[in-house]
Amino acid sequence: MKDPQELRAAALRCLLETDPLGKTQGVAALAQAWADGAVSLDSAAPLEETGTIPGRPVRPELVSPRLVGRRSMATVEGRAMLAHALAHIEFNAVNLALDALWRFPDMPHAYYTDWLQVAKEEAYHFTLLADHLQTLGYAYGDFPGHDSLWEMVEKTKGDVLARMALVPRTLEARGLDAIPPLRAKLAQAGDMAAAAILDIILRDEVGHVEIGNRWYGFLCEARGLPLRATYDELVVRYKAPVLKGPFNLEARRRAGFTEEELARFA
């Protein structure tokens, strides 16, 4: 990050990085360079995919979600499997944020600042979980993972509106609902370190979903589209998963969901 760089091109290089440590350190360095004014933004610059997206390590093996395995909180291995699953989600979320950064040109300056912040925080979450795995005697890659989150990223690569609608405010928003009961299970099992990590993740994920909600609203207004009807149409067109409760309505409210949407969830 010592040489002058363009933000979206640098984000693409981080996205292509296969080593988790190299990726997370690269994101942190890019975020610092951006804050220091050492990185420029050419939001209209054409960029091409120059390698396999996203860059990932050879492990974990990617399998169907139903083959990931059960996670009993009664054993260290079970808690490690859960921590690994969460780390895998966060690793995918780093790639998701980097993809949102480089792929979509001609967005306002604040859009790129927002998604760089998301990438930085997701990298931090991954590091916390990977380090916790080490304390349990395991490492990222020791268990299989699935690719459900990235599949929707791939589906929506042609339209930033669909991306904002169906990834942060749909799939990532499920984390707002899922984290509190997972946190309770870990605390009951005595893994207070993991529970504290989930507190950090939930705090930050509210902001990430709010970013998705805000840019979805911006794009709908810019295109003259109704928020709710457009969202419903995108869910059908892209075959997004049907959301099922229980929902964390308080966290969703803080993340920018409208009262009309919350009424639907209720």
* Mean predicted confidence (pLDDT) in 127-152: 94
**pLDDT on residue 3:** 53
Output the six-digit token pair for 193.
């370190």
Instruction: Tell if the pTM clears 0.85, that is, is over it.
Output: yes
Q: CB-hemisphere CA count at 13 Å for 30?
A: 33
Band (pLDDT 50/70/90 cuts) for residue 12 is very high
**What letters, b where the CB count within 10 A reaches 16 and e where it falls short, cover 46-71?**
eeeeeeebbbbeeebeeeeeeebeeb
**pLDDT on residue 4:** 54
* Mean predicted confidence (pLDDT) in 73-94: 94
Task: Classify residue 64 as left (phi > 0), alpha (psi -120 to 50) or beta.
Answer: beta
Percent of residues, the chain, with pLDDT higher than 90: 84
**pLDDT on residue 69:** 67
Percent of residues, the chain, with pLDDT higher than 70: 97
- 84-136 confidence digits (pLDDT tens): 999 999 999 999 999 999 999 999 999 999 999 999 999 999 999 999 999 99
Question: What residues contact residue 213 under an 8 Å CB cut-off, 6+ apart?
Answer: 168, 169, 255, 256, 257
Beta-bridge partners for 40: 6
- 54-64 confidence digits (pLDDT tens): 999 999 998 87
Mean pLDDT of all residues in the chain? 94
- 212-247 confidence digits (pLDDT tens): 999 999 999 999 999 999 999 999 999 998 888 899
Domains and CATH numbers, the chain: 64-265 (1.20.1260)
The DSSP string of 92-115 is: HHHHHHHHHHHH--S--HHHHHHH
User: What is the Cα–Cα distance from 262 to 252, expressed in whole angstroms?
Assistant: 8
Best CA proximity match to 26, nearest among 43, 36, 40, 12: 12
**CA of 237: how far to CAs of 62, 147, 234, in Å?**
26, 20, 5
Task: With beta carbons less than 8 A apart as the criterion, state whether 83 and 132 touch.
Answer: yes
User: What is the three-class DSSP state of 35?
Assistant: helix
User: What is the Cα–Cα distance from 264 to 266, expressed in whole angstroms?
Assistant: 5
**What letters, b where the CB count within 10 A reaches 16 and e where it falls short, cover 22-41?**
ebbebbbebbebbeeeebee
* pLDDT of 146 over the 90 cut: no
Element (H, E) at 6: strand 5-6
**pLDDT on residue 255:** 98
